[in-house]
Amino acid sequence: MGNGLFFVLQTKKTAMAEHRFEILVDRTPYQISIRPFEFNAERRYSVTYNGGPEHIFTFDPTIGRLAPIDDDASTLPDDLERAIADRLRTGRV
């Protein structure tokens, strides 16, 4: 056997609690589920509303706030997006 190099990649997965709450936006109630996670040493949030598809929120420096970055982010109502971002920013989740 020759001398060879091999790499072992260890990942540390931090268990972060899922948060659920209801929010009222434009007189419409939404059931929100948020699960924080780390990606490339950056805090991100998996967000769903009313049992729908997952949206990934992270800080967007171009707008100076948390915002969804996933492919389906445009389906998220604007006022709901801002309300979720505000809750994440203030830590009220």
pLDDT of residue 15: 47
33 within a domain of the structure (yes/no): yes
Whole-angstrom Cα distance, residue 52 to residue 70? 14
* Tens digit of each residue's pLDDT (9 = 90 or more) over 60-83: 999 999 999 999 999 999 999 999
SS3 content of the chain, % helix, strand, coil (to 5): 15, 40, 45
| Domains of the chain: total | 1
Give long-range contacts, CB 8 A cutoff, 24+ apart: 28-36. 30/80, 32/84, 32/87, 34/84, 34/87, 34/88, 34/93
pLDDT of residue 12: 46
3 within a domain of the structure (yes/no): no
81 within a domain of the structure (yes/no): yes
* Tens digit of each residue's pLDDT (9 = 90 or more) over 28-44: 999 999 999 999 989 99
- Per the CB < 8 A criterion, the answer to whether 33 and 20 are in contact is yes
pLDDT of residue 3: 53
41 within a domain of the structure (yes/no): yes
